[in-house]
Amino acid sequence: MHFVKPRLSEKAFALSQSTNTFALDVPSELNKYEVADAVKKQFDVEVTAVRLINRKGKVKRVMNTTGKRSSNRKGTQPDMKKAYVTLAKGSHLPFFAAAEEEIAKEAEAKAKAAKKSAKTEPKTEAKPKGLKKLVSKKETK
């Protein structure tokens, strides 16, 4: 059995909120059908679509200094495979549970504040003050 790991970033969070698509790191030997099966087994959700991206490892310069000698060589980061998994409606992965709870609390607090301010404000009709002046000036000309 293969294990998939979530990518926890702002972009992944926004994608999960808007289109119910989650970004995952997967082993490089898996294809999209195996990824879908692994996600179904691991998280017990219904998968509708899977997109895969192979990312080559970046080449980085590595400085090594020991005493008077220094070497300047190149190293590479490992290659990786990302999967964007779209879930069916009603299915959800709990990766961003803390952020979602925080958003819900903020929305609830805003609703309470709006309700409280609506109760405290007196209900009077606001008429535009400058309207009479404009009308009267036009009629005199």
On the question of pLDDT at 134 being above 60, the answer is no
Report yes or no: 7 and 23 within 8 Å, Cβ to Cβ. yes
Identify the helix (H) or strand (E) that includes residue 68: none
Between 88 and 73, the higher pLDDT residue: 88
End-to-end CA distance of the chain: 86
Q: Catalogue all structural domains in the chain, each as residue range(s) with its CATH number.
A: 5-91 (3.30.70.330)
Please say whether the dihedral angle defined by the alpha carbons of residues 90, 96, 101 and 104, taken in this order, is positive or negative. Answer: negative
On the question of pLDDT at 140 being above 70, the answer is no
Report yes or no: 64 and 117 within 8 Å, Cβ to Cβ. no
pLDDT classification of 86: cutoffs 50, 70, 90 = very high
What average pLDDT does this structure show over 23-50?
93
User: What pLDDT is attached to residue 81?
Assistant: 94
Report yes or no: 95 and 22 within 8 Å, Cβ to Cβ. yes
Between 51 and 137, the higher pLDDT residue: 51
b/e 49-74 (16+ beta carbons within 10 angstroms → b): ebeeeeeeeeeeeeeeeeeeeeeeee
User: What pLDDT is attached to residue 91?
Assistant: 86
CA distances from residue 76 to 19, 25, 65, 79, 139 in whole angstroms, order as listed: 34, 18, 19, 9, 80
On the question of pLDDT at 93 being above 90, the answer is no
User: What pLDDT is attached to residue 74?
Assistant: 83
Between 74 and 124, the higher pLDDT residue: 74
What average pLDDT does this structure show over 16-45?
92
